[in-house]
Chains A and B, each alone.
Chain A
Amino acid sequence: MPQPFAALACNLDRNILLTCLPLFEAEKVEAVEWSFDTLFHFREIPPWFTELLQTFSQENRLVGHGVFFSLFSGKWLDAQQTWLDELKKLSDTYRFDHITEHFGFMTGADFHNGAPISLPFTPKTLAIGRDRLARIYEACQCPVGLENLAFAYSLEEVKRHGEFLEQLLSPINGFIILDLHNLYCQLHNFGLEFADLIQLYPLDRVREIHISGGSWEDSPLRPGKAIRRDTHDDSVPQEVFQLLEQAIPLCPNLKFVVLEQLGTGLDTAASRLAFQQDFEAMSGIIQQSRNDSEDPANAFLPQARPDTSQPPLESNELEQQQRELSQILETAPNYEAAKNRLAASDLAHSAWNIESWEPAMLETAMRISQKWKHGFPQTQG
């Protein structure tokens, strides 16, 4: 079948399933992305959900999207080993076409709390990231990818993100999820043009594209220009569809395009209908872009088995800095307090380059961390 495939982020969430069901019935969903690690805590899940996953798995149309691994935590965590063990078991049960995770580290002291936040692009963080990616590959034995992060502290960081992803992924011949809403956030928040930003990414490594919606948040630190956030709680902006039209032809190894939205944003009939319409619009763009070529040239499998025989790499200094940063982001009452505490922390005058962080983005990091520090809200029912 011509690629890329039109896919949904489908998880065990009542609102999401209620929204997706008509699309499944109409046979419009060509692949499913499942955030497998959100169910690690639970002993059993409904048999109809596992059957749904198996249906797509058997056709090589199931991809796994991790949320909680915390790729760049400076210290190797027991929970990370457990995550790998669980992934290995799941990979025996399901045939994942690939496995992905997010760039960054989780701010929460507890493994399942917090949100992914960026970090310095240094040889040390590069080595830790490569070590973790190799271990993920070892567990799942299928292509492994990373998603570009929406959040950035500075313009310089935005410009270097694509290059750092290339360095991280090349040893395992991994791939990129190009999240276009994340790019949209950066285009707006840092005043960039798509043509300038997209050329900074190694687009031949893009195997999957994400689209989603988000929200605007006013900042007193930047009057008149709201911050765009990747909150996944609203329908897809027209501008993101335009980015999709522009991006697909640039990505020769693209295999999946995934529409994502949180269940919390699908709690009304109108929001469900909007999601279904977004899916139709996404499918239309995909169909127009399709050609009759076979599978993408790059299978995104490593040329040689990665060596994971050594203990996981760790950095006590990085861990200490991450703890300090997380604590400040989660507890500072306002921007000024956070700025002052950072200036007095181990992060000052370090590779974190906190002195160049955009004030409004530091404030945004605080809001993200404080929003997610207690984990995910319970909204079903």
Chain B
Amino acid sequence: MKVSKSLLQAIAVGITLSATSAACSLFKDEDGLHLQTCGEECDIDHRDDGGTVDPGYNCPGCGMG
């Protein structure tokens, strides 16, 4: 299936940024990574301390065997 060139470029940039930043995340950088349980005032970047022991973005899919 066709994926637009502009989208492919955006993905490539997103991957590259995540590789060069100190943070282990593909999330936007502006105000850190927050969880749904965080309040609006939360200023902790949860990608640094994990926020939980298990940030779920490294998707397991299945593979839990």
Once the chains are docked, how many angstroms separate the CA of A9 from the CA of B60?
10
Evaluate contact between A232 and B1: CB separation under 8 angstroms.
no
- A interface footprint on B1-33 (CB within 8 Å = 1, 0 otherwise): 111100110111111001100011111100001
Please count how many residues in chain A sit with their CB below 8 Å of the partner chain's CB atoms: 71
Please count how many residues in chain B sit with their CB below 8 Å of the partner chain's CB atoms: 41
Once the chains are docked, how many angstroms separate the CA of A262 from the CA of B54?
16
A30: CB under 8 A from chain B? yes
Evaluate contact between B59 and A150: CB separation under 8 angstroms.
no
Once the chains are docked, how many angstroms separate the CA of A381 from the CA of B7?
22
Shortest CB-to-CB span from A187 to chain B, Å, is: 14
Given A24-B3, A46-B28, decide whether A40 and B63 contact each other with a Cβ distance below 8 A. no
A317: CB under 8 A from chain B? no
Once the chains are docked, how many angstroms separate the CA of A185 from the CA of B65?
10
Which of A12, A65, A150, A214 interacts with B57 by CB under 8 Å? A12
Evaluate contact between B19 and A14: CB separation under 8 angstroms.
yes
B11: nearest chain-A partner, CB-CB: A48
Evaluate contact between A38 and B65: CB separation under 8 angstroms.
no
Which of A24, A39, A43, A260 interacts with B56 by CB under 8 Å? A39
Q: Which residues of A have CB within 8 Å of B27?
A: 42, 44-46
Once the chains are docked, how many angstroms separate the CA of A306 from the CA of B60?
30
Shortest CB-to-CB span from A13 to chain B, Å, is: 5
A68: nearest chain-B partner, CB-CB: B56
Q: Which residues of B have CB within 8 Å of A48?
A: 7, 10-11, 13-14
Q: Which residues of A have CB within 8 Å of B18?
A: 14, 380-381
B10: nearest chain-A partner, CB-CB: A48
Evaluate contact between A374 and B61: CB separation under 8 angstroms.
no
Evaluate contact between B26 and A182: CB separation under 8 angstroms.
no
Once the chains are docked, how many angstroms separate the CA of A210 from the CA of B2?
23
Once the chains are docked, how many angstroms separate the CA of A39 from the CA of B54?
12
Which of B1, B57, B58, B65 interacts with A42 by CB under 8 Å? B57
Evaluate contact between A182 and B10: CB separation under 8 angstroms.
no
Q: Which residues of A have CB within 8 Å of B60?
A: 35, 38, 67, 232, 262, 376
Beyond contacts A14-B26, A55-B4: 12 other A-B pairs, Cβ-Cβ < 8 A, are: A13-B57, A14-B19, A18-B15, A21-B12, A27-B2, A27-B3, A35-B60, A41-B56, A52-B7, A232-B61, A262-B61, A378-B24
Evaluate contact between A51 and B15: CB separation under 8 angstroms.
no
Q: Which residues of B have CB within 8 Å of A12?
A: 26, 57, 59
B65: nearest chain-A partner, CB-CB: A230
**Can you report 24 residue pairs joining A to B where beta carbons are below 8 Å apart?**
A12-B26, A12-B59, A13-B59, A14-B15, A14-B18, A14-B26, A25-B3, A33-B61, A39-B59, A40-B56, A41-B55, A42-B35, A49-B26, A55-B1, A55-B3, A59-B1, A67-B61, A67-B64, A210-B62, A262-B61, A376-B54, A376-B56, A378-B55, A380-B26
Q: Which residues of B have CB within 8 Å of A260?
A: 61-63
Shortest CB-to-CB span from A67 to chain B, Å, is: 6
Q: Which residues of A have CB within 8 Å of B55?
A: 41, 378
Once the chains are docked, how many angstroms separate the CA of A69 from the CA of B51?
21
Evaluate contact between B24 and A29: CB separation under 8 angstroms.
no
Q: Which residues of B have CB within 8 Å of A379?
A: 24, 58
Shortest CB-to-CB span from B16 to chain A, Å, is: 9
Evaluate contact between B1 and A377: CB separation under 8 angstroms.
no
A375: CB under 8 A from chain B? yes
- B interface footprint on A237-256 (CB within 8 Å = 1, 0 otherwise): 00000000000000000000
Given A12-B26, A43-B38, A381-B24, decide whether A65 and B61 contact each other with a Cβ distance below 8 A. yes
A116: CB under 8 A from chain B? yes
A228: nearest chain-B partner, CB-CB: B65
Q: Which residues of A have CB within 8 Å of B38?
A: 43
Evaluate contact between A41 and B7: CB separation under 8 angstroms.
no
Q: Which residues of A have CB within 8 Å of B28?
A: 44, 46
